């Protein structure tokens, strides 16, 4: 079930299903809103988007209320997360999936929002989007990076097949403290492009998101089917090579590698200091020993910028050889 495409003039609702960070960086939030407005959209900041309840943006009930109101509102055409966090999976048991099924619309975020994106896609069949969020991407000084903006528009604002995703020319993971010293463009470096860990070809529906968050759903009704899937996975700068190794081993124990058709890994933050003598490629090859699906690293999504949106459930092909092709075979919206 694909949502309707986003058009200039449409209303986008902003929600905070997990972290309360939006309450503490009002200038950054306002810049994110102004970026959307410059792009031609109307913006609806949901009532609890800047709420604070302990370490979350409001109580479970308040966060659910915002999501339900946004899906129910006929004027809202898309719902974007302000930021991720840790606890959006608290909402899964009490989400009104029938309401969402009857009011399909674009829902986008990343990192911890993976729990909601995967749960909703699994329970309703709605295509959801792992993609730029209000504070990290839209809230930058000059708005979205050109690469992110291009793929945002191509993914969400037109109904032709998305096609091949080329690597960005440059990237950054520089951290500028929001509302304190984020008044310049971050320093970017040249992008070396995709890295092939294992050659091969695979085609299947995209299952995308933050690896650690996705694994929270293992054994629950909210875990997406991995049958034939192209796994497109990322994680944040708080992880270590040891925890990444553990996650990919857990996927092995879950039987994921018996089912999937390929893996694409988003670029890791440089704070995740992989051992030059045992890099991420070797971690992946060890965890997936005995299998022959393609594995591609260093893709433009995750906790570095720029990013391209990943539509859950859309058919994609990964071809990894002398040349890497990552191609979305259909549109993500209708």
Give the residue numbers annotated as catalytic, written as ranges: 111, 234, 303
**Is the distance from CB of 117 to CB of 312 less than 8 angstroms?**
yes
The rounded distance, in Å, linking the Cα atoms of 168 and 95 is 36
**Residue 31: how many other CB atoms lie within 10 Å:** 21
**Is the distance from CB of 172 to CB of 304 less than 8 angstroms?**
yes
Pairing of strands 310-311, 129-130: antiparallel
CA 169 to chain centre: 20
- Taking alpha carbons only, the member of 115, 40, 50, 105 closest to residue 79 is 105
Q: Where are the alpha helices (DSSP H) in 241-333?
A: 241-253, 280-287
The rounded distance, in Å, linking the Cα atoms of 330 and 10 is 23
Name residues whose C-beta falls within 8 Å of residue 34's C-beta, 6 or more positions apart in sequence: none
- Taking alpha carbons only, the member of 10, 103, 19, 28 closest to residue 53 is 19
Q: Which residues pair with 263 in a beta bridge?
A: 231, 295
């Amino acid at each position: 079930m694909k949502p309707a495409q986003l058009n200039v003039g449409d209303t986008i609702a902003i929600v905070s299903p997990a972290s309360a960070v939006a309450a503490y960086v009002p200038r950054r939030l306002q810049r994110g809103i102004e970026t959307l407005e410059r792009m031609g959209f109307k913006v609806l900041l949901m009532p609890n988007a800047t709420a604070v309840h302990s370490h979350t943006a409001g109580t479970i009930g308040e966060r659910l209320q915002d999501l339900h109101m946004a899906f129910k509102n006929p004027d809202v055409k898309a719902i974007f997360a302000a930021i991720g966090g840790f606890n959006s999976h608290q909402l899964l048991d009490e989400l009104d999936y029938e309401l969402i099924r009857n009011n399909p619309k674009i829902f986008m975020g990343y990192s911890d929002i993976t729990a909601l994106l995967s749960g909703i896609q699994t329970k309703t069949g709605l295509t959801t989007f792992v993609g730029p969020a209000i504070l990290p991407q839209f809230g930058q000084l000059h708005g979205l990076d050109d690469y992110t903006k291009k793929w945002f528009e191509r993914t969400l604002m037109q109904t032709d097949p998305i096609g091949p995703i080329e690597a960005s020319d440059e990237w950054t993971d520089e951290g500028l403290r929001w509302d304190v010293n984020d008044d310049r463009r971050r320093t970017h470096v040249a992008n070396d492009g995709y890295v092939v860990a294992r050659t091969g070809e695979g085609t299947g529906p995209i299952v995308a998101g933050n690896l650690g968050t996705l694994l929270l759903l293992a054994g629950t009704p909210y875990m997406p089917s991995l049958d034939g899937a192209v796994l497109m996975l990322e994680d944040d700068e708080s992880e270590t090579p040891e925890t990444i190794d553990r996650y990919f081993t857990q996927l092995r124990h879950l039987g994921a590698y018996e089912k999937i058709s390929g893996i694409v890994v988003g670029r890791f933050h440089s704070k995740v200091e992989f051992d030059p003598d045992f890099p991420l490629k070797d971690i992946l090859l060890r965890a997936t020993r005995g299998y022959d699906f393609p594995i591609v690293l260093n893709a433009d999504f995750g906790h570095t910028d720029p990013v391209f949106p990943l539509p859950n459930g859309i058919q994609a092909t990964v071809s990894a050889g002398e040349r890497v092709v990552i191609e979305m075979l259909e549109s993500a919206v209708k």
